[in-house]
């Protein structure tokens, strides 16, 4: 596609919205590299529309130099929630929501499945949670499997693969999608 044919080409830059994502790591290389923070800002028209960030627990101790460089301390990382804390909380909130018919969360793994009356509407209304197939990664994703697997999967089932986002940000996104 030529640049002039791109959908954003006709819009002035001042009115465009941009999502800027930033991550921090423990500064180690290769397999020892672990994320210590992820953040995002949504800006447009010279204004900040939304922002969120979360410190992420990692297994390797932070070196003094990386703490000075990023401003993220070992105490902050130690106090950060890990996935095992975020998932049960999301499952509990989903179970309590009137639009959710059933929650399938075994208490382990990064995937929560739940049933709603109109899964396609919910999965396309989320803004933070991407509508995509995934079983792991930094970004949370959600999809309805019924459209791919037919009668093998319940019609209203949504599969949510939880990433590194803050539980409050994830819940706000899910709640607004379920509410509409």
Higher pLDDT pick, 9 / 144: 144
What is the residue-averaged pLDDT of the chain? 80
What's the whole-model pTM score? 0.53
- The C-alpha atoms of residue 126 and residue 178 are separated, in whole angstroms, by 9
**64: part of which helix (H) or strand (E)?**
helix 64-70
The CATH 3.90.1150.10 domain(s) of the chain lie at: 83-179
Higher pLDDT pick, 121 / 2: 121
Q: Which listed CATH number (3.30.70.120, 3.30.420.10, 3.30.1490.270, 3.30.428.10) goes with 3-79? A: 3.30.420.10
- What strands lie across the sheet with 47-55, from one edge to the other? 17-25, 35-44, 47-55
Residue 31 has what DSSP assignment?
G
* Three-state secondary-structure class, residue 177: helix
The CATH 3.30.420.10 domain(s) of the chain lie at: 3-79
Residue 52 — very low, low, confident or very high, per pLDDT cuts 50/70/90? low
Question: 83-179 is classed in which CATH architecture?
Answer: Alpha-Beta Complex (3.90)
The tally of CA atoms less than 13 A away on the side-chain side of residue 64 is: 0
Does position 169 have pLDDT exceeding 80, yes or no? yes
Instruction: Identify the sign of the CA torsion 3, 128, 78, 159.
Output: negative
* Three-state secondary-structure class, residue 114: strand
Higher pLDDT pick, 76 / 147: 76
Residue 136 — very low, low, confident or very high, per pLDDT cuts 50/70/90? low
């Amino acid at each position: 596609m030529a640049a002039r044919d791109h959908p954003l080409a006709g819009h002035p830059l001042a009115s465009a919205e941009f999502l800027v994502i930033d991550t921090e790591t423990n500064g180690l290389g290769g397999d020892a590299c672990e994320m210590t923070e992820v953040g995002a800002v949504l800006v447009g028209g010279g204004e900040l529309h939304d922002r969120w960030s979360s410190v992420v627990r990692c297994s390797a101790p932070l070196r003094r130099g990386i703490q000075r460089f990023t401003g993220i301390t070992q105490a902050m990382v130690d106090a950060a929630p890990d996935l095992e804390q975020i998932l049960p909380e999301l499952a509990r909130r989903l179970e309590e929501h009137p639009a959710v018919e059933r929650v399938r969360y075994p208490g382990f793994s990064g995937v929560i499945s739940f049933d709603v009356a109109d899964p396609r509407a919910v999965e396309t209304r989320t803004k933070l949670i991407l509508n995509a197939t995934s079983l792991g990664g930094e970004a949370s994703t959600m999809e309805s499997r019924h459209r791919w697997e037919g009668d093998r999967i319940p019609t209203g089932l949504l599969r949510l693969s939880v990433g590194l986002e803050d539980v409050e940000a994830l819940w706000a996104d899910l709640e607004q999608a379920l509410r509409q």
